[in-house]
A and B are shown apart, each in its own frame.
Chain A
Amino acid sequence: MPDKKGSIFKKKAKEEPVDAGNLKYVGQSVKKVDGLGLATGIAGFVDDIELPNLLYAKILPSPHAHAKILSIDASKAKKLKGVKAVLTYKDLPRIAHTTAGQGYPEPSPYDTFILDNKVRYVGDRVAAVAAETEQIAEEAIKLIKVQYKVLKPVLDMEKATEKGMPIIHDEKEARTIIPLNYDPKRNIASQVKALTGNMAEGFSNADHTFENIYYAHYASHAANETHIVITYLDGQGRLVIRTSTQVPFHVRRIVAERLQLSESRVRVIKPRIGGGFGGKQEVLIEDICSALTLKTRSPVKLHYSRSEEFIASRTRHPQRIILKTGVKHDGTITAIDMDVLMNTGAYGSHALTVACNTGSKVLPLLRCENVQFKAQTVYTNLPVGGAYRGYGATQGYIAMGIQVDEMAERIGMDVCHFYKMNHIKVGETSPVFKALGEGREGVLQTIESCGLDQCIEIGATAIDWYAKKERYERQTGQIRKGVGMVALMQGSSIPDIDMGAASMKMNEDGSFNLLVGATDLGTGSDTILAQMAAEVLDVPVEKIIVYSSDTDLTPFDVGAYASSTTYLSGYAVIKTAEDIRSQIFDVAAEMLKEKKADLYVKDSAVFSKKTGKNITYQRIGLHSLYEKNQHQIASVKSHITHKSPPPFSAHFVEIELDMDTGKVKVLKYVAAIECGRAINPKLAEGQTEGGVLNGISYALTEEYIFDRQGRMLNSGFDNYKLFYPADLPEIRTILIEGYPEPTGPYGAKSVSEICINGAVPAISNAIYNAVGIRLRKPPFTPEVVYTSINK
C-alpha cells in the first residue's frame, strides 16, 4: 500500500489553483545530473570513444529526384587501397520497412529498403562505402559508376495525385502492416477522415463563415549534433550500435529485422545526445552502418555532414490546410472543417500520425460540436518528412491560430476573450479525442487540469496586450509595430500504446542506481526522473545514479517522443521507487523490531511514527547485502497511460515591421505555459525558450529552397538562416503553477513540444495588427512581407 507520501498524485481535479504541497525535490530547479560533465567536455557523445581499426562510412547520394538504377559498378571503388567494403542494393536483403522509430506495429507504410534499385529524391542513398579514412571513403564513393534511367519527378504536393503523375512507390512490397487507407498507386501515403456532429447544420447555424488556405513549410531540426552512429562487434560477436537516437529500443527491433538478426544479437547504446527534436525518432543510418560492420567485422562510423543532415535526414512535413469555420455573433463556434494535404517527400515516415495530430492536438482546444477532419498525405520526390517537435500540431496551429484571430475580429470580440469563452474546460471532453488517434481510433478523455485562462490573462498583462493592440491598429510611417497572440494545447504521451519502465537497486552506501529506458537527448529527463525517485525515497538527488537507454542493461521504454517522458516514464520511476521504499521498510522493520505500517522515510533514513526509532539507509543497505537475510533490494516497474492530458499555453508577441524593407523583427515574446506541476522549473523554462526561438526562426527565416530538379540549394548554416545570440529577442517564459494534473506524476504534464507551435500564428496576427495584412504562408521573410504590403 502506498503510504502517506504515495498519495500526493491522487489529488482531486480543481479549477482553482492548489497549493504546491511540501515537496522537497520535485518542483525544485535542481542542477542537471549530467550538467557539469557536459560543461567540462567530458560527457561522452557517440563520437567521443576510440575504437581500434575504426572504419569510416560514406553514402553515395542520388543526383536525381527520381530514377531507376540500370547498372551499378563498384569494382573500381573496391580496388582502391584502404577500401574495406562497398554495399549496393545487390548486397543486402530486400526488406521493406519504415524508418519511423515507432512502436510495433508501426502505422507508417513499409516503403523503404536499406538500399534500393530506385532512387526517389536528390540525396537518396545509392551505395555505401567503408574505408580506413574519411578521405579514402570519399574518393571511393566517386569511383562507383551508376547508370540511371531518369524518371519524371513529382515536385509539387498539390499535383501529386493528379492523373498521369509518375508513381513513386511502384514496388510490389510497399504496404502498411495494419489495415490503413494506403494507396501508393496514386502517390497517397495515408488518408484519414473523422466527423462528429453534422457539418451542414453547423454551417447553417453560423452567422459568419470563414474559409482560407494556410501553409506550413519544410524545416530542418538542425540539432547541433548531426546523425551519427558507431557500430562494432562485442566479445561474443554481437552487434553493438552506439547511436544518437531518441528510440534505442525501436532501433534494436528494427535493425534486427532489417538485417535478419535476432534481437538477442543486437545491443543499442545511447550515450549523451546532441539534440533530437524528433529528427532522431528515426532509424535512419543504423542499418547501413551495421551492415558494413557485419561485412567487415570492424567498427564503423557513419557521421552525417551538415549538408547530408539537411537533405538526407528528416524534416518538418509541409502542409496545405484548407480551414473552414462557422461562428455566431456571440462567439459560439458552430462548425470546424479542416482539410489537410501533407507532403511526406519520398518516403512515408510518420505520414499518417503527423497528419492525424494536425487534427487531434488542435481541434479539441475549441468547443464545437460539428467537426470534420480530413487529411491526405502524398509522396513527392523531395526530402522526407518525419517527426519534428510539435508533430503536426505546429502545422495545424498555423491555420487555427490565424483563423481564430480572423473570427474574433469579424465579430468584434477581443481574441483573448474569444479563446477564454471557447476553449475546452475542466470536466469537459471533445469528441475529437475519440475520433482521432495515432493510426487508430483515439482515446476518450476528460480534461482534469487546465490553467489556460490564467495563461491568457498573465500573458496579456506581460505584453500590455489591450493598450498596444488598439494603439497599433492605426499607424503610419516606416516602422510599425504590432501585437499578436495564440492559445495552444498539446498532449502527454500516446495513451494505451506507449510503455515506459524503470528499474532500481539499492547500494550499501544508501545510494541507488536508477536505470531507465527513457531517452535523455538533452531534455533533462535523467534529472527529472532522478528528482521523482529522490522525492519518493527522500534522498538527495545526488544519491540517485541515473543510467539511461542501453538495451542490454535498462528496461524497455518506447523512447523520447510524443511528449511522453515526464508523464509516462516518470510514473514508472515513481512506482519503482515506491516498491524500493516498501522493501526498505521490510528490512528496517526487522532491524528496528517495529511494524512496517508504522514506518516512514525522512532524510535518507527510516523512522518509526510510534517510537521515533530510526535507522539510516546506509545501515539498511549494508545490512541487506552483507549481514542477515542477504538480498538485493531491487525493483522494476512499467507504466502505460490511459490518457494524454494536454498542457496549455498562450503566446504573445510584439513585432516591429519595416515598411521599406519588409523586415519583421520580434521585439518581445511572452510564453505563458501551464504544464501541470513543473518537476524542474528551470528545465521547463529552458524547454520553452528553446522551442519558442525555434518557432520564431521557423516563422521568419528558415526554409528549404529547391531548384527545378528538386535539389536543395541551401543545405548549410551559411544560407539556411537560423537564429544566433545577437538575433535573440526578449523572451519571457511564465510557468503557470497551481494546476496539477491528477493523473500525472506529482501532477506533471508535458512541456517540450507545445512551445514550438505558437510563433507562426502569433507573428502572423501581429503583422495583421501592424499593417492590416493577413499572411498565411510562412516564412515571413522580408521579400514575402514587402511584396504582400505593396500588392
Chain B
Amino acid sequence: MIIKLIINNEEKEFTIKPGDILLDVLRREGYKGVKKGCGTGECGACAVLLNGRAVNSCLVLAAEADNSRIVTIEGIGTTEKPDPLQESFVEAGAVQCGYCTPGMIISAKALLNKKKDPTDTEIKKALDGNYCRCTGYVKIIDAVRMAVKKMKNK
C-alpha cells in the first residue's frame, strides 16, 4: 500500500507493507536520526513528533500514520541552523554517545511547544520515556532549561 505523509514539512509518499513499523519505514527512507534502542516502546530513542505529539515510532504501524504530519530530528534543525534545543544540548554537555539525543530533543520539543516555561518536574516528566545510560540525565535537564532561556531571549 501507499501512504502519504508530511515529513519535516515535505510531502512524501511511501510504499509499505501492512505490518511495517513506522520506525523501520522512516529509517529505510533515510531518516537515520531516528534510533532504535529497544523496539518495544521503552527507550524513546525512536521518538518523533506525530501530529505534534511525541510518540515512539517503534510502536506505530506505518499504515496508521497515513496522512499525518511527522517531524523527525532532521526536521528540528541542522548543523547550519540548529534549533535552540540542539545548541543547548551541545553546550550543556548533554550529548555523550548521542544515541538517545534525537529522542530526548523530540520529547523536549513537544514539551516546549506546549509550555514556554516548564518546571523541573515537568521537564523530567516529559522526558521520562527516554532512556540514557551515559549522562545520568543531569546535563540533559540542564540543556532543556538552557533552551528555555535561549528561546525567551530570542
Q: How far is the CA of A329 from the CA of B72 in the complex (A)?
A: 65
Contacts A306-B39, A685-B93, A728-B141 known; A690 to B135 CB distance under 8 Å? yes
- When the two chains form their complex, are residues A731 and B40 in contact, meaning their CB atoms are under 8 A apart? no
Query: Which single member of B87, B133, B136 contacts A277 (CB below 8 Å)?
Result: B133
* Shortest distance between the CB of A667 and any CB in chain B (Å): 15
Chain B interface residue count, Cβ-Cβ cutoff 8 angstroms: 57
Mark each residue of chain A from 1 to 39: 1 if its CB lies under 8 Å from any CB of chain B, else 0. Answer: 000000000000000000000000000010110111111
Q: How far is the CA of A224 from the CA of B91 in the complex (A)?
A: 22
Determine the chain B residues whose CB is within 8 A of the CB of A682 once the complex forms. Answer: 92-93, 139
* A612 in contact (CB, < 8 A): no
Which residues of A from 716 to 738 have beta carbons under 8 Å from B?
A: 716-718, 722-726, 728, 731, 733
Which residues of A from 76 to 128 have beta carbons under 8 Å from B?
A: none
- When the two chains form their complex, are residues B133 and A36 in contact, meaning their CB atoms are under 8 A apart? no
* Shortest distance between the CB of B18 and any CB in chain A (Å): 13
Contacts A717-B43, A724-B129 known; A274 to B97 CB distance under 8 Å? yes
* A693 in contact (CB, < 8 A): yes
* A221 in contact (CB, < 8 A): yes
* A427 in contact (CB, < 8 A): no
- When the two chains form their complex, are residues B136 and A224 in contact, meaning their CB atoms are under 8 A apart? no
Determine the chain B residues whose CB is within 8 A of the CB of A39 once the complex forms. Answer: 82, 86-87, 89-90, 95, 98, 101-102, 105
* A521 in contact (CB, < 8 A): yes
Determine the chain A residues whose CB is within 8 A of the CB of B138 once the complex forms. Answer: 685-686, 689, 728, 731, 733
Which residues of A from 485 to 540 have beta carbons under 8 Å from B?
A: 521-524
Mark each residue of chain B from 99 to 118: 1 if its CB lies under 8 Å from any CB of chain A, else 0. Answer: 11110010000000000000
Query: Which single member of A683, A692, A725 contacts B141 (CB below 8 Å)?
Result: A725
Q: Using CB atoms, name the residue of chain A closest to B140.
A: A725
Q: Using CB atoms, name the residue of chain A closest to B125.
A: A726
Of A42-50, A185-193, A357-365, A648-656, the stretch lying at the interface with chain B is A42-50
* Shortest distance between the CB of A316 and any CB in chain B (Å): 14
- When the two chains form their complex, are residues B97 and A272 in contact, meaning their CB atoms are under 8 A apart? yes
- When the two chains form their complex, are residues B79 and A306 in contact, meaning their CB atoms are under 8 A apart? no
Q: Using CB atoms, name the residue of chain B closest to A691.
A: B136
Q: Using CB atoms, name the residue of chain B closest to A669.
A: B136
Determine the chain A residues whose CB is within 8 A of the CB of B89 once the complex forms. Answer: 35, 39
Determine the chain B residues whose CB is within 8 A of the CB of A29 once the complex forms. Answer: 93
* B35 in contact (CB, < 8 A): yes
Q: How far is the CA of A692 from the CA of B89 in the complex (A)?
A: 20
* A411 in contact (CB, < 8 A): no
* B124 in contact (CB, < 8 A): yes
* A40 in contact (CB, < 8 A): yes
Contacts A34-B98, A48-B32 known; A693 to B125 CB distance under 8 Å? no
* B134 in contact (CB, < 8 A): yes
* A69 in contact (CB, < 8 A): no
* Shortest distance between the CB of B121 and any CB in chain A (Å): 8
Contacts A275-B96, A275-B133, A522-B134 known; A717 to B79 CB distance under 8 Å? no
- When the two chains form their complex, are residues B131 and A42 in contact, meaning their CB atoms are under 8 A apart? no
Q: How far is the CA of A790 from the CA of B31 in the complex (A)?
A: 54
- When the two chains form their complex, are residues B86 and A728 in contact, meaning their CB atoms are under 8 A apart? no
Determine the chain B residues whose CB is within 8 A of the CB of A43 once the complex forms. Answer: 98
Query: Which single member of B40, B99, B124, B137 contacts A306 (CB below 8 Å)?
Result: B40
Determine the chain B residues whose CB is within 8 A of the CB of A693 once the complex forms. Answer: 136-137
- When the two chains form their complex, are residues B35 and A274 in contact, meaning their CB atoms are under 8 A apart? yes
Query: Which single member of B128, B130, B136 contacts A692 (CB below 8 Å)?
Result: B136
Contacts A41-B74, A725-B128 known; A32 to B136 CB distance under 8 Å? no
* Shortest distance between the CB of A730 and any CB in chain B (Å): 9
* Shortest distance between the CB of A612 and any CB in chain B (Å): 37
- When the two chains form their complex, are residues B82 and A686 in contact, meaning their CB atoms are under 8 A apart? no
Q: Using CB atoms, name the residue of chain A closest to B127.
A: A725
- When the two chains form their complex, are residues B45 and A224 in contact, meaning their CB atoms are under 8 A apart? yes
* Shortest distance between the CB of A204 and any CB in chain B (Å): 46
Query: Which single member of A35, A689, A725 contacts B95 (CB below 8 Å)?
Result: A35
Q: Using CB atoms, name the residue of chain B closest to A49.
A: B32
Determine the chain A residues whose CB is within 8 A of the CB of B95 once the complex forms. Answer: 32, 35, 38-39
- When the two chains form their complex, are residues A41 and B97 in contact, meaning their CB atoms are under 8 A apart? no
Determine the chain B residues whose CB is within 8 A of the CB of A690 once the complex forms. Answer: 96, 132-136
Q: How far is the CA of A570 from the CA of B88 in the complex (A)?
A: 27
Determine the chain A residues whose CB is within 8 A of the CB of B86 once the complex forms. Answer: 36, 39-40
* Shortest distance between the CB of B107 and any CB in chain A (Å): 9
- When the two chains form their complex, are residues B136 and A731 in contact, meaning their CB atoms are under 8 A apart? yes
Determine the chain A residues whose CB is within 8 A of the CB of B74 once the complex forms. Answer: 40-42
Query: Which single member of A226, A724, A731 contacts B128 (CB below 8 Å)?
Result: A724
- When the two chains form their complex, are residues B93 and A40 in contact, meaning their CB atoms are under 8 A apart? no
- When the two chains form their complex, are residues A225 and B99 in contact, meaning their CB atoms are under 8 A apart? yes
Query: Which single member of A40, A691, A728 contacts B79 (CB below 8 Å)?
Result: A40
* B54 in contact (CB, < 8 A): no
Contacts A35-B90, A41-B73 known; A725 to B101 CB distance under 8 Å? no
Determine the chain A residues whose CB is within 8 A of the CB of B91 once the complex forms. Answer: 31
Q: How far is the CA of A689 from the CA of B142 in the complex (A)?
A: 13
Query: Which single member of B37, B40, B45, B102 contacts A718 (CB below 8 Å)?
Result: B40
Determine the chain B residues whose CB is within 8 A of the CB of A42 once the complex forms. Answer: 32-33, 74, 78-79
Q: How far is the CA of A31 from the CA of B95 in the complex (A)?
A: 10
Mark each residue of chain B from 20 to 56: 1 if its CB lies under 8 Å from any CB of chain A, else 0. Answer: 0000000100111111111110110100000000000
- When the two chains form their complex, are residues A726 and B97 in contact, meaning their CB atoms are under 8 A apart? no
- When the two chains form their complex, are residues A224 and B77 in contact, meaning their CB atoms are under 8 A apart? no
Mark each residue of chain A from 686 to 706: 1 if its CB lies under 8 Å from any CB of chain B, else 0. Answer: 100111111000000000000
* B3 in contact (CB, < 8 A): no
Determine the chain A residues whose CB is within 8 A of the CB of B73 once the complex forms. Answer: 40-41
Determine the chain A residues whose CB is within 8 A of the CB of B39 once the complex forms. Answer: 305-306
- When the two chains form their complex, are residues A524 and B40 in contact, meaning their CB atoms are under 8 A apart? no
Determine the chain A residues whose CB is within 8 A of the CB of B137 once the complex forms. Answer: 689, 693, 723, 725, 728
Q: Using CB atoms, name the residue of chain A closest to B90.
A: A35
Q: Using CB atoms, name the residue of chain B closest to A726.
A: B128
* A311 in contact (CB, < 8 A): no
Taking each of B34, B43, B76, B141, which has the highest tally of chain A beta carbons within 10 Å of its own beta carbon?
B43
- When the two chains form their complex, are residues A724 and B131 in contact, meaning their CB atoms are under 8 A apart? yes
* A415 in contact (CB, < 8 A): no
* Shortest distance between the CB of B21 and any CB in chain A (Å): 11
* Shortest distance between the CB of B132 and any CB in chain A (Å): 7
Q: How far is the CA of A29 from the CA of B138 in the complex (A)?
A: 16
- When the two chains form their complex, are residues B136 and A716 in contact, meaning their CB atoms are under 8 A apart? no
- When the two chains form their complex, are residues A724 and B38 in contact, meaning their CB atoms are under 8 A apart? no
Determine the chain B residues whose CB is within 8 A of the CB of A728 once the complex forms. Answer: 124, 136-138, 141
Determine the chain B residues whose CB is within 8 A of the CB of A615 once the complex forms. Answer: none
- When the two chains form their complex, are residues A275 and B97 in contact, meaning their CB atoms are under 8 A apart? yes
Q: How far is the CA of A39 from the CA of B78 in the complex (A)?
A: 9
Determine the chain B residues whose CB is within 8 A of the CB of A275 once the complex forms. Answer: 96-97, 99, 133-134
Determine the chain A residues whose CB is within 8 A of the CB of B77 once the complex forms. Answer: 40
Determine the chain B residues whose CB is within 8 A of the CB of A523 once the complex forms. Answer: 96
Determine the chain B residues whose CB is within 8 A of the CB of A722 once the complex forms. Answer: 131, 133
Which residues of A from 43 to 77 have beta carbons under 8 Å from B?
A: 43-45, 47-48, 50
Question: What are 8 A-to-B residue pairs whose CB atoms are below 8 Å?
Answer: A39-B101, A40-B78, A224-B132, A682-B92, A686-B135, A690-B136, A725-B123, A725-B141
Binding site for B on A (CB under 8 A): 29, 31-32, 34-45, 47-48, 50, 221-226, 272-275, 277, 305-306, 521-524, 682-683, 685-686, 689-694, 716-718, 722-726, 728, 731, 733
Given contacts A224-B100, A685-B93, A692-B136, 15 further A-B contacts (CB under 8 A): A36-B79, A37-B98, A40-B73, A40-B74, A40-B77, A40-B78, A41-B31, A41-B73, A226-B37, A274-B97, A690-B134, A694-B133, A716-B42, A724-B130, A725-B123
Binding site for A on B (CB under 8 A): 27, 30-40, 42-43, 45, 72-74, 76-79, 82, 86-87, 89-93, 95-102, 105, 123-125, 127-141
